[in-house]
């Protein structure tokens, strides 16, 4: 019975993951197609929305969701995947910021005067902070097996939500000038709304998919005997910790 429920749970989570991926690809395709028709693929500015859409909708989205989206992935591997995906997002966002700076300089238009521009700059700033914090967190965790900078996860969710908001304000700012472009905006808003709904569904259904390793309950701690001595495992799930088991008494 328990195995059946677990299998069903995994299937549901993978179903949510594939649904999110399909929606994300649809958003990217819609935005790129709109940019080709409205901006033109030969314009430098074209790459600003394209790179940031790919970065936020594909890489950042999966980077935040990695702990619940992939059944059977160990937490250590999930951390590595999270770091890679988030790192790609930071690189793409830096490239997008550089492009808009170049365009603004060439056209002489004011910088960061709109809600989209200011919010995008804030997202960029906090993404860099998150990148540094995540690297330090991973280093301390792997070296000392200690949790560190616990606010990193909560701030990451806020950065993701802010990135989606900046993306939507950019879409509304660029594609509301005509009836056809307004329809594009409605399509994008609909898909992003569906993505957000599935995202929160992941947090509800998948928060415990890759649980944090913690100390064993008091009534489940087992002593092990070796070389005539009793040992208390500090962390039974970590071989390195087992090797550093505490010597209690002579057996």
Q: Assign residue 131 the CATH number of its domain.
A: 1.20.120.1770
HSE, CB side, 13 Å, CA atoms: give it for residue 58. 17
Q: What is the pLDDT of residues 114-138, one digit of tens each?
A: 889 899 999 999 999 998 988 888 8
Direct distance between the N- and C-terminal alpha carbons of the chain, in angstroms, rounded to an integer: 41
Q: Residue 65: inside a domain, yes or no?
A: yes
Domain limits at 46?
A: 8-208
Given this model, what pLDDT does residue 209 score?
A: 44
**Which phi and psi (to 5°) does residue 41 adopt?**
-70, -15
Q: Residue 158: inside a domain, yes or no?
A: yes
Q: Residue 233: inside a domain, yes or no?
A: no
% of the chain with per-residue pLDDT over 70: 69
Mean per-residue pLDDT, 30-56? 92
Q: Residue 213: inside a domain, yes or no?
A: no
**200 has pLDDT over 70:** no
Q: What does pTM read for this prediction?
A: 0.72
**CB–CB of 199/191 below 8 Å?**
no
Among 50-64, 70-84, 90-104, the least confident range: 70-84
Given this model, what pLDDT does residue 237 score?
A: 52
Distance CA 92, CA 50 (A): 10
Q: 26-60 b/e with 16+ CB inside 10 Å = b?
A: bbbebbbebbeebbeeeeebbbbbbbbbbbbbbbb
Q: What DSSP line would sit under 26-45, residue for residue?
A: HHHHHHHHHHHHHT-TTSGG
Number of structural domains (the chain) is 1
Among 34-48, 157-171, 219-233, the least confident range: 219-233
**Which phi and psi (to 5°) does residue 250 adopt?**
-70, 140
């Amino acid at each position: 019975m328990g195995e059946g429920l677990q299998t069903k749970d995994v299937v549901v989570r993978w179903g949510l993951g594939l649904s999110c991926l399909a929606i994300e690809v649809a958003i990217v395709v819609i935005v790129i197609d709109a940019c080709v028709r409205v901006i033109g693929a030969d314009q430098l500015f074209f790459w600003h929305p394209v790179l940031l859409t790919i970065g936020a909708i594909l890489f950042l989205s999966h980077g935040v969701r990695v702990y619940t989206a992939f059944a059977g992935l160990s937490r250590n591997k999930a951390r590595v995947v999270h770091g890679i995906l988030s790192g790609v997002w930071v690189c793409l966002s830096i490239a997008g910021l550089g492009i808009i700076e170049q365009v603004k300089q060439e056209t002489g238009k004011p910088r960061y005067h709109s809600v989209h521009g200011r919010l995008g700059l804030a997202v960029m700033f906090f993404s860099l902070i998150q990148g540094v914090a995540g690297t330090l967190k991973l280093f301390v965790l792997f070296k000392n097996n200690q949790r560190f900078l616990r606010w990193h996860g909560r701030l990451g969710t806020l950065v993701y939500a802010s990135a989606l908001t900046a993306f939507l304000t950019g879409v509304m700012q660029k594609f509301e000038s005509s009836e056809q472009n307004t329809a594009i905006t409605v399509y994008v808003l609909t898909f992003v709304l569906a993505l957000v709904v599935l995202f929160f569904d992941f947090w509800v259904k998948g928060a415990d998919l890759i649980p944090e390793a913690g100390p064993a309950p008091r009534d489940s701690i087992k002593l092990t005997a070796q070389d005539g001595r009793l040992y208390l495992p500090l962390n039974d799930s970590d071989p390195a910790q087992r090797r550093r088991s505490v010597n209690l008494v002579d057996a």
